[in-house]
Each structure stands twice: as C-alpha cells, then as structure tokens.
Amino acid sequence: MSHAQRLQRLAGSAFIAIAALLSGPLLAQTAGGGKGAGACPTLLNKTFPRLQDDAPQNLCQYAGKVLLVVNTASYCGFTPQYEGLEKLYADYAAQGLVVLGFPSNDFGEQEPGKSKDIADFCFNTYGVKFPMFSKTVVSGKEANPLFAELIKAGGSAPRWNFYKYLIGRDGKFIDSYASMTTPQSSRITGDIKKALAQQP
C-alpha cells in the first residue's frame, strides 16, 4: 500500500469516528425526550387503547398538534356536544387541531357500555371521526396518567362529563373548560385559534 493510500484510509477512519462522537449525544437526547427534533413532550408520552379495537396508541403521534382532550359519556345531558366537537375537528384539523375523546363512567354512571357499544353510538349518532380511546377513569386517585397530569397542571379536575382541556403545540397545558362551555363557544374557539397560530 502506498503512502498516499495509507493517509487516505486514516483520514476516512478519523471522519467515521468524529461522526459517531457527534451523532451519539444527539440520538440520546432525542430518544430521551430532550430538545432534539422529534422529541415527545412528557405530557403526551403515554399509551392508551383505541376505542374501536383496543390497539395501543401512543399520544406522541400528536406531538406538534393542538389538542382538545375531553371526557365523554353516551347518556349525559351534554352528550350532544359530540356534534360540536366533531365540527371543531372538521373545521380545524387541517390547521393542526386534534380532539381526543376519553369515554368515562365516572359521573352518574352515564357511560355503562362496552367499547363496541360506545364506538357504534358515537359514529352512528354523531358521525364522530376524531380519535377516541377505551373507557377510562378521569377523576380521583385512579385517574389515568394523562388526566392526572392535566389536573395537576391546571389545578382543576373534571366535575362532570364533557370537561375539556386544551394542550398547545409544545405539549403544555393551556386551559380547561367546564362541561357547560360548548365546543363552539367564543372562549374555546378563540383559544384554539391562538394555539394554532403558535409554533412548538
């Protein structure tokens, strides 16, 4: 091997070593939820079964979106809000809004059905297409991890069905809304528009 070839091989090896040293911390930061591209906010780093088939869904797939999280029920006076929630989703999905529905039997036992019953009701009655998850607990000591963190962040727990939490593109809590605050209220739509205008 000539002297020039040996120098070329050494230079190539040095380049590979330097590249590995530089990429290692970046990969570790991203995988660990740091500030690297593709990092998942802590609030969203949770998995829940999908309502229709119990397939596990990681909420990290919604990172960078504006999220309206709602605890729902099929036999409640506020159940017609499904229509308004679906309209919000249809109107603003292209801009980055996702509505996430979490059926719960916590209040008045107004969600007694099984997953298939709930899914059929939501679609057949209100044409719901936004993501829905399996029935869960949203209040008290047994609240699921997402609601537990939202309650802590906002200082307010759901008091009844169709309580709402808004999460920004950065994965941080923005505000919460009582059950009586309808999806089309100026307060909710105004906050959603402001959140959509922000970049993570």
Whether 76 is catalytic is: yes
Contacts of 20 (CB under 8 A, 6+ apart): none
State both tokens at 174: 């923005």
Backbone angles phi, psi at 115, to 5 degrees: -55, -45
- CA distance linking residue 136 with residue 83, whole number of Å: 21
Task: Tell me the residue type at 89.
Answer: Y
Question: What stretches of the chain show up as alpha helix (H) in DSSP?
Answer: 3-31, 81-92, 115-126, 145-154, 186-197
Write out the catalytic residue numbers. Answer: 76
